[in-house]
Amino acid sequence: METIIGTDINLAQQFLEQGNVIGIPTETVYGLAGNALNEEAVLKIFSVKNRPYFDPLIVHTHSLDEVTKYTQQVPQRALDLMEAFMPGPLTVLLPRQSCIPDLVTSGLETVAVRIPNHPLTLSLLQQLAFPLAAPSANPFGYISPTTSYHVYDQLHGRIPYILEGGATEIGVESTIVGFENNQAVVYRLGGLAIEEIERVVGKVFVQTNTSSDPKSPGMLKSHYAPRKRLVLTDAFDITDDELSRVGVIAWDKKVVGVPDHHQIVLSENGSLKEAAKHLFAAMRTLDETDVDYIIAVRVPDVGLGRAINDRLKRAAA
């Protein structure tokens, strides 16, 4: 199968209506998208990614009115969140309508829904008569893609089309929020900071503990990982003879003694937003070098730093 990269929304629509899966851009990472109401298309997503069927998918649509077609019993606090942050890097877990296949939710009675904030994908969704199920467009467990060429490198020959939308703006996946007994629960840290969520709904409970029976996408212990071993640390401390053999993902300044081409600084300005945008590309770049392993230094654990540290922890698992 030839894989084409392009900006033709109508061609993307044609592939999707034929039951194919394609790569799509969002503001967070690139997604591997198929008709969420078509079980054969959803099966293709799992097959292309080699994703286990117990790991549920996120359903993407273009408006809050559309969200209500696929969900029910939406709590007021969930509605407040959606009105504040959709389109955007927020996914909400809600009771599902029966039209959503069990395969999408891994048999759960809740479905993860979001409205991506990317003009091309929003336009595509508005032209479709169905929502899109779309996990990240990468082999299961590997680093999420933040450009169309990352998708091509990993999935060319397995999908017919990748919608070119430029480099992603945020660079880590959406934050997933659900509600238990009217309490807001964060199941996956992501591109929307907890502090922002709490400004709308008050104190939230964070439940991102690893699971082999996840309640939402993004809860598995080992995920987002390079092929080379990644070690997560609070402070860089290795012997001199290791300096030339290790790759480094640094926070805001270079590590003395490590060759420049073996290290990447996430943000020289100390910006967590910039660091999140560069994280997955940094993992991917160092994974393709001749280093023996990669060391990543934790960033400040506030705001988007929580999501960055979460991805690094799972990559190191």
Q: Rounded to a whole number, what is the distance in angstroms from the first to the last CA of the chain?
A: 34
pLDDT at residue 16, rounded to an integer: 98
pLDDT at residue 225, rounded to an integer: 80
Position 53 confidence tier, pLDDT thresholds 50, 70, 90 = confident
pLDDT at residue 52, rounded to an integer: 86
- Res. 288: pLDDT tops 90: yes
Question: Model's pTM, two decimal places?
Answer: 0.91
Q: Which residues contact 239 (CB under 8 A, 6 or more apart)?
A: none
Whole-number Å distance between alpha carbons of 100 and 209: 26
Least confident of 31-40, 111-120, 192-201, 308-317: 308-317
Express each pLDDT in 65-91 by its tens digit.
Answer: 999 999 998 999 999 999 999 999 999
- Res. 120: pLDDT tops 70: yes
Position 3 confidence tier, pLDDT thresholds 50, 70, 90 = very high
Express each pLDDT in 231-286 by its tens digit.
Answer: 999 877 777 777 888 999 999 999 888 999 999 999 999 999 999 999 999 999 99
pLDDT at residue 222, rounded to an integer: 61
Fold of 4-206: DHBP synthase (3.90.870)
Whole-number Å distance between alpha carbons of 20 and 44: 8
CATH C-level class of 230-316 = alpha beta
* Percent above pLDDT 70 for the chain: 95
Whole-number Å distance between alpha carbons of 77 and 185: 11
Single-letter residue type at 201 = V
pLDDT at residue 91, rounded to an integer: 97
pLDDT at residue 213, rounded to an integer: 56
Express each pLDDT in 130-183 by its tens digit.
Answer: 999 999 999 988 999 999 999 999 999 999 999 999 999 999 999 999 998 888
Express each pLDDT in 24-50 by its tens digit.
Answer: 999 999 999 999 999 999 999 999 998
> What is the residue extent of each domain of the chain?
4-206, 230-316
Whole-number Å distance between alpha carbons of 229 and 107: 33
- Across the chain, mean pLDDT equals 92
**More confident position, 69 or 317:** 69
